[in-house]
Structure 1
Amino acid sequence: MSSESDAFDDIGPVDYLVVEYPGGRPTGEALPYLVDLVDRGLIRILDLVFVRKGEDGAVAAVDIADLARGTGVDGADLTVFEGATSGLLGREDIEEAGQAIGAGSTAAILLYENRWAAPFARALRHNGARLVAVGRIPVQDLVAALDSAEADVEAGAEAGTGS
């Protein structure tokens, strides 16, 4: 007999991201890469929601069908994403994302499963392991840290070769 936890045994970690398009609308340039990740089985899209924040601060979800008709994303065919909803993202999530973006901006909220990590996560669960922390380092922070480390090395080298 299978338990409720067995139903989730093959699920990888689930992440979300909110991408803002300040003062404008998405170009669709990144969408083929997203489709490729799905096609290769690396991720599974659970939800994809677009939101707009008006100049007055009002936040509203934008129907993908409206974007697909060319009213919101320049030259992108979004029809492949119609129906990409698990129902996990709710109004509260949309409002929270709306608070993170600027007035007059559009954003995409993407909730996705990391299918590539499912076997690893399953093995950890079967071994009794527990996830106790998770995080992500923004690329800008990583670049700044590397620049700082490089400057420290250069400063140390100059100090060591001085008179």
Structure 2
Amino acid sequence: MAEFEYGPAEFMVAQFDTDRPSPGVVEAILDLVENGTVRLLDLVFVERHDDGSVDIIELEEIGDEIGLTDITLDATGLAGDEDVQQIAELLEPGSTGAILVIEHLWAKDLANRFFQSGGVVLHSERIPAPVLNAVAADAFDELETTEG
């Protein structure tokens, strides 16, 4: 059986109160790509102005400015115009968003192994970190209360 060219991918949207992501955000993206955790398939920036209008900024336009000149996008265009416009509606006026389409390389390997063994991933759902941490903290507090 052939190997998958791509594994599961995820749209991730981050909002910034500034017009560009901070150096720390850029460093985090570079670190994840360089250590092989993810492959960056597409990256688009969106500015939502106070009047509600939207500007779409491609990586080529600001890569030098924010320190992402050495990054290669492996499938530009995955974040299509319709997706970007819908996601832009999530942004608060006066903010900027980064839309990342990332491939989880560990998940690609796992999906390949399932497929080669005759299995298939039927469902996958990401739980946002703030939600998971809040639920875990509540469960821990409840456990302490019942044991205490």
Matched, 1:98 2:91: no
Q: 1:150 to 1:107 in 2, by over 3 A?
A: same
Percent identical residues? 30
Aligned length: 148
Q: Any conservation in 2 of the 1:16–1:111 contact (CA below 8 Å)?
A: yes
**Normalization by structure 1: what TM-score?**
0.77
Cα RMSD (Å) of the superposition? Answer: 2.3
Q: 1:131 to 1:154 in 2, by over 3 A?
A: same
Q: Deviations over 1:50-96 (max 9, x none)?
A: 111111111221133443454xxxxx312224766522221101101
Q: Distance in 2 between matches of 1:118 and 1:84?
A: 15
**Normalization by structure 2: what TM-score?**
0.84
Q: Distance in 2 between matches of 1:41 and 1:157?
A: 42
Q: Distance in 2 between matches of 1:83 and 1:35?
A: 12
**What is the DSSP-based 3-state SS (H/G/I as helix, E as strand, rest coil) of the residue aligned with 1:30?**
helix
Q: Which runs of 5+ in 1 are unaligned?
A: 71-75, 159-163
Q: Distance in 1 between matches of 2:73 and 2:117?
A: 36
Q: Deviations over 1:84-115 (max 9, x none)?
A: 65222211011011011100110111112222
Which residue is 1:26 aligned to?
21
Q: Any conservation in 1 of the 2:40–2:72 contact (CA below 8 Å)?
A: no
Letter in 2 for 1:19: A
Matched, 1:126 2:121: no
Which residue is 2:43 aligned to?
48
Which residue is 1:77 aligned to?
67
Which residue is 1:141 aligned to?
131
